[in-house]
């Protein structure tokens, strides 16, 4: 037996509100990338997750929210993947540091 799915009633006003929230998260994350990347990446991930973690039926009703979510994913890809690679290279080159005095 199929479980009935709840009706999704996405008004134009709610779509605008969610898109505005996503753009705020995106631009906040972008600004944080310049100052403190540790805070920027979660904001960008949240902007993308607000759209892409919804079922397909809901995503189809949130057309305005698609652009900031896509922009956040592109930004995460452009800065995140090279950043992780650079972090791995840095830790490989410098190895563990034990914070003690070296004679």
Q: What is the mean pLDDT of each run of 10 residues along the chain (103 residues)?
A: 57 90 96 88 94 91 93 92 77 68 58
The answer as to whether 39 is a domain residue is: yes
The answer as to whether 8 is a domain residue is: no
Q: Buried b vs exposed e over 64-91: b needs ≥16 C-beta within 10 Å?
A: bbeebbebbbebbeebbeeeeeeeeeee
The answer as to whether 45 is a domain residue is: yes
Where does residue 99 fall: left (phi above 0), alpha (psi -120 to 50 degrees), or beta otherwise? left
Whole-prediction pTM value?
Answer: 0.71
The answer as to whether 11 is a domain residue is: no
Cβ-contact 54, 47 below 8 angstroms: no
Name the CA dihedral angle for 76, 58, 10, 61, rounded to a multiple of 10 degrees: 80
The answer as to whether 43 is a domain residue is: yes
- Give the separation between CA 100 and CA 25, rounded to whole angstroms: 40
Domain containing 80 equals 35-88
The answer as to whether 69 is a domain residue is: yes
- Give the separation between CA 22 and CA 53, rounded to whole angstroms: 13
The answer as to whether 102 is a domain residue is: no
Count of domains forming the chain: 1
- pLDDT at 9 (0 to 100): 55
- pLDDT at 103 (0 to 100): 58
């Amino acid at each position: 037996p199929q479980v009935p799915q709840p009706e999704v009633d996405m008004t134009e006003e709610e779509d605008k509100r969610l898109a505005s929230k996503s753009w705020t998260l995106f631009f906040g994350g972008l600004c944080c990338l310049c100052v403190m990347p540790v805070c920027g990446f979660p904001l960008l991930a949240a902007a993308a997750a607000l759209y892409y973690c919804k079922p397909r039926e809901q995503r189809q009703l949130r057309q305005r929210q698609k652009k900031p979510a896509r922009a956040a994913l592109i930004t995460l890809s452009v800065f995140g993947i090279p950043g992780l690679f650079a972090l791995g290279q840095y830790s490989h080159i410098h190895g563990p540091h034990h914070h003690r005095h070296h004679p």
